[in-house]
Each structure stands twice: as structure tokens, then as C-alpha cells.
A and B are shown apart, each in its own frame.
Chain A
Amino acid sequence: MQPHDETPHVPGPSIWPVGFAVGVVVLLVGLIVSWWIAGVGAVLALVFAFLWVRDLTAGTPLAHAPDVPPESPTGANIPADQGAAALPPTDPSERYPRSKFLEVSTLGLGAVIGGLVTVPAVGFMIAPAFLKQGQKDLDIGPITDYPEGKFVVATFMTDPGAGEVSRRTAYVRNNGQLNGQPSFTVISNHCAHLGCPVQPNGPLNENGKKQMGAVTLIPTISIAGFGCPCHGGQYDTEGNRTSGPPVRALDRYSFSIRNGHLFLGKPFSVSHVDGTGASAKIHKWTLSFPGEHVDGIESWLYPIQPPH
């Protein structure tokens, strides 16, 4: 064995105490928060304590003599205040110098603290826009207010508490019966080009206006389709694009009928509609932003839609 009595024994650097400390912190936090977090912390602390102790004992004479080659005799010819001899004695087991450890741990700790602050803040900025986006079904009045074969302009608030900003408009047409079930065409007024409000191409019967809370119904007299005032997109009465920049047909709302009242459900996107009225075949797609193709090769540009 080397006579290294002059240099006190310094245990080799070890990363395990960091894990041990984390385990202890998790254990303490767990005592406040929840028993199973405390359990996780205890397990972490025990595992890392074991690894740490194993490391400590591995390099000491208690375990076995380290397999160290004898010091090079050439070092003796250089005066002690110069050359390699002047450097602090290097332990061959010190593969990972202290300064490096301190640098990495400072940067690492900084990253952890930075992450602890940044992740919740940035998450709070982004997540609410994507979570809980669905809306409840909306009552837009008794189906008797919807004369068969005529569009009715229905405006309503999706969230009356939020006020006018939540006001939306749908064009609703009663198609009569389909296989014994009432059939409705419910077209959203969001232009499929860039989201401006499309208008009915034809006169409204303002005298037939009905107001029920936040819901307003104005029957049309006779309309030839829909047109958008912003960029000139035109649609037929089924919402199919007939001219202008829109990339697909107008979006529609799903609907249900409860106790004789018409309820609007989730909106969905439509590429095109074949046929008319109750017998129309609607090509449905998940709700997409205006200006996005839902079918054809261009739809490859929008592989995933955010949760609506």
C-alpha cells in the first residue's frame, strides 16, 4: 500500500448525494402533500443512500486496497514547487474533477429552478386555449318557430355570462321529416375562407322577429344562398361554395331535439354536400379553422387539429 498518511482520506466525488437529497426533499414534501409521494421520496432516498454508501466504501481500505500503480519516480527530479509535483496530488480515481462537478451542478440546478418557474407559467399561457373547449348544447327555441322549407336566422350566445362577445349566428332550415324524424339544416355563419360572417342573399322578414332571452330568430322570406361581405365568397343554400375564395362548404352544427326544442350541439366542418334538404348527403369532417382544406391533397398540410 502507498504511504499516503499525509493526505487525509477524501472520498471520491459522487453524484449519488444529489439523488439522496432529492429523495429527502420529496419525502418532506410528501409528508405535507400525500402519503404516496412521501413513499416515493423514501424509496428514492434509500436507493441513493445505498448507492452512495457503496461508493464511499468501495474506494477505502475498508473494502480493499485500491489498484493504484506506484508513483512515477521521474517526478522526484523536479523541484517540489514546479512541474507536476507542484500540482495537488491527483487521485487516479478522480475521473470527474470537483470544479467540473460544481459547474455542472450549478448549471443543472439553475436549469431545474428555471424549469420549475417556466414550465407552469408557459403551460398556463398555452394550455387553457386548448383544454375544456367544448360547449354545452344550446336551446334555440321550439321547433314550431322554424317554418318548413325556410331559413331562419338564429343568433344566440354560447356563454351568456361572457356577454355579446360569445354571440354566434346560425342559419336554420326545417326540412320536414326524414324517416319519421324531424330534419334540420343548421349552417354556421363563419365563412370558410377567413371567418367573416356570411349573410343570407335575400330579404329577411323583420316583422317575424322573435326574441327569447339571448336567442333571436328572424325568418327569411326567400334566399338564394349566402354571401360573405369581406372577400366575396358565395355559397348555395346547402352551404356549398359556388364562387370566390372559400376552400370548402360552410360549417354546420349538429343538433338534437328535446321536449320539442331545437338544441345546437358541436359544430363540424363540411367539404361539400350532395343533394338538398332532408335527403342531402353531408360530407362531415372535424371542425377546422376557416381557410383549411378538409379534403384533397391540400388537407395534408393540416394533419392534426387542435382539440375543439
Chain B
Amino acid sequence: MATTTKKPSTKAVVQDAILYPLDWLEERSGLVGGIKYFLFRKVPGDINWFQTLGSATLTAFIVQALTGSILAMYYKPDAKDAYSSIQHITNDLWAGWLVRGMHRWGASVFIILMFMHMGRVFLFGAYKYPRELNWIIGVLLLASGLGEGFTGYLLPWDQTAYWATVVGININGTAPFLGPFLAQFLQGGTYINGDTLSRFYAIHMLMIPGAIFALIGLHLYLVIRLGVTSPPWSKEAAGTGSIVKPSSNGRSGLSRFGRQGR
């Protein structure tokens, strides 16, 4: 073309510099669109602050996961060293008292927020069709969170931790039929011993957090798929919007709806 090429403005250059890598990523993965779809969803107009309790719980869990991973760098899950390593974290290491405190108090915050979130869902009727499954996943998350509390309580390995766990395990032991087996499994033997500590550490550190991550993934997937409930005082009745129809591609042949929708 014969027209003189105008020098692009600084703003355009900056915009280009920002957008180029995003476009590059989007073209190859669709991730940018996916994150936009996740973050910029349509929610009911009269939504309420109470509906942020779920996000708050998620934040509390992320804090627990982060501080817990870092505490694990200094903690020694061994009957002889556990208590002294906790003392070392709290008294000697820089900001150790702070990170341990975040994890210790954050645990209570996490549990309290879970219950508040649960209460909000209950009082708003947000557990009703079609969100029953998300309530069930939430209950599993609550149970996992309480399991984290139970297993984490032993790790300081002081007198409180020890005897609280003795009592907790023996409460499990009084469950009918399989209770004694459950208690002995948790203890890793007839009595609490060094294996109990390592076992609780592994459950606290790896097993339950893995389950929680997976369950949170499912929980959020259903929130995105089904949308956010309107508050009970909303002018628009909740759930009037169309539910996403199951796709009718090949794999949905496994579900009854997919078959009928063909």
C-alpha cells in the first residue's frame, strides 16, 4: 500500500505486548477463554455477600495447603523428634511461629467457614434440585475437613495431642461391629505408637488433601455448570433458567438423558 505507515501509539504497543502472549496461549490451549468463562460467569443480580462464603472457604483451604506444605519442610513426623521439631519451628526459626499459627488457627477458620457456607446453602435452599449432588460433595468435603482436624491435632505430639487422640481413636473404637478394627487401623497397632504418628501425618499430608483437591474440583465444576442460586427474597424464582442439556455426543450414550435426547 502506498499510504504512509503511521507510528503506532505507545498504548497500542503496550496493549500488543500484553495481548500477544495471551493470544499465543489462547490459540494453543483455550485456557484464557476457559478462565474467563470461569471467572466472568453470569450470577443473579440480587446476589448477596453470604454467597462469598464458599470462596472464603476455598481461600482458607489454600492457606492451609500452602502453610502446611511449608511446615512440612521443618516438621519431623517421628515419635522422638516431632515435639522438638515443633518447638524448633515455633521458637527458633524465622517467622516459624507465624506460619505455624496461621496453620493452627487457619484450621479452625476453615472448619468454621465450611459450617457457615453449609448454613448459607441450607437457609437459601440452594441444596435443592438440581444441586443435590453438590450438597453431597460438600458433605464429603466437610467430613474430609474434620478428618484433617483430627489427624492434624496429633502432630504437635504433646500431652494434649496424645490424649485427645487416644480419646478420639477410642471413640472410633466404640462404633458397632467394625469400630475395634477401625481404631486398630488408625493406631497402627494395639496401642498408640510411633507408627500412629507417621500414619496420621501421611493421612493428614497426602491422602485427605488429595481427596479434598479432587472434591473441590467436582464442587466447582458443578457450581459452574449449574450456576449460582438466587437468594430466597429474589424476585426471580431460582432455577427458572434452562439447565444445560447434556451433550448428545457419543459418550453421553452411557447416560439415560443422552439416549433420549438423540
Query: What residues of chain A have their CB less than 8 Å away from a CB belonging to chain B?
Result: 126, 128-130, 133, 158-159, 162-166, 168, 194-197, 230, 287-292, 301-306, 308
Contact = CB atoms under 8 A, between A and B. Distances in A.
Given A162-B79, A196-B163, A306-B180, A129 B189 contact: yes
A195 B195 CA distance: 18
A291 B181 contact: no
Interface of B: 79-80, 163, 166-167, 169-171, 173-174, 176-177, 179-181, 183-185, 187-195, 197
B170 A289 contact: yes
Is the contact region of chain B dominated by helix, strand, or loop, or is it mixed? helix
Contacts of B180: 288-289, 292, 302, 304-306
Contacts of B176: 301-302
Contacts of A303: 177
B168 to A, nearest CB: 9
Nearest to B192: A165
A164 B184 CA distance: 20
5 contacts: A165-B193, A168-B191, A194-B170, A196-B166, A292-B179
B171 A291 contact: yes
Is the contact region of chain A dominated by helix, strand, or loop, or is it mixed? loop
A196 B164 CA distance: 9
A306 B189 CA distance: 10
Given A230-B167, A292-B173, A129 B79 contact: no
Contacts of A133: 189-190
B227 to A, nearest CB: 36
Given A133-B189, A291-B173, A306 B166 contact: no
A197 B166 CA distance: 10
A165 B171 contact: no
A290 B170 contact: yes
B167 A195 contact: yes
Contacts of B177: 301-303
Contact of B193 (A130, A162, A290, A306): A162
A194 B187 contact: no
A164 B82 CA distance: 12
Most buried by B among A165, A302, A306, A308: A165
Contacts of B192: 165
Given A133-B189, A289-B173, A163 B79 contact: yes
Contact of B174 (A164, A166, A230, A291): A291
B79 A196 contact: no
Nearest to A197: B163
Nearest to B80: A163
Contact of B181 (A158, A163, A166, A306): A306
A301 B181 CA distance: 13
